[in-house]
Amino acid sequence: MLRIVPIYPELLSIYADRGNVRVLAQRARWRGLPVEVVPLGLGEELDPAAADVILIGGGQDRDQALVAEALIAQTPALRSAIADGVPVLAVCGGFQLLGHRYVDQSGRETPGTGLVDLETHAGTRRIIGNVLVDVRLGGEVHTMVGFENHAGRTRLGAGVTPFGRPKVGGGNDGDGLAEGCRVDRVIGTYVHGPLLPKNPWLADQLLSWACQHRGLDPVLETLDDRLEAAAAETAMRIARTESR
């Protein structure tokens, strides 16, 4: 049984992040894989042995501050799961909480988990718009499509690799040089809207890693993704038009 664990979805699910959970579960079911969605609520303890893929969504600043202490308490369990090969997808606020801290415009700090060497400071303007990001994953280069809406300026530590390079969009720091982060099977990104419906290749990579963790065949049956490809192509066209 594959177990998908969204963390605190009642608070960290802004910008339709629940769609990422639904896509992972449905793409597993279409392949006949047994799957269960097991949300982690506030006050509950994460069992690292019971998770095969972990999702941390985005939230408004007040929601991030509310869950930060609880999420930090889960850090040992998260480290154990990551060390055991469980993939983690962290989006927007979840991406920021992977790091050491988030500092808002007033200078107030919200501590993070420190799972990844990065930190975020609020900028003076929001970075908003459709994005296109080149991502190398599984030996191939993909174009990740989606939407960014954040005021954070995230700086990666010296040993942390960006998840991709923006072709359209501001990325982590508004300069268009880097988007997200990747450390082994931990992926952080500002791209949502939600992310996985338009990027099924990423959903399938997470599922493949999850299957490998659970001892199942990580080679997934090919699905008919014509609708998903059409949605991605439309998003690419809009992003390119807006960037002119």
d(CA 85, CA 216): 13
Alpha carbon dihedral 220, 224, 229, 231, in 10-degree steps, equals: -110
Q: What one-letter code names the amino acid at 85?
A: G
Of the candidates 92, 150, 181, 211, the residue annotated as catalytic is 92
**Is 92 among the catalytic positions?**
yes
Question: Do residues 86 and 185 make contact, with C-beta atoms less than 8 angstroms apart?
Answer: yes
Q: State the DSSP code for 220.
A: P
**Is 192 among the catalytic positions?**
yes
Q: Give the gyration radius of the chain's Cα atoms.
A: 17
d(CA 31, CA 131): 30
The strands making up 186-189's β-sheet, listed across from edge to edge, are 35-37, 2-7, 53-56, 88-91, 186-189, 181-183
Provide the CB-side half-sphere exposure for 99 (13 A, CA): 29
Of the candidates 121, 142, 181, 192, the residue annotated as catalytic is 192
Residues serving a catalytic function are 92, 192
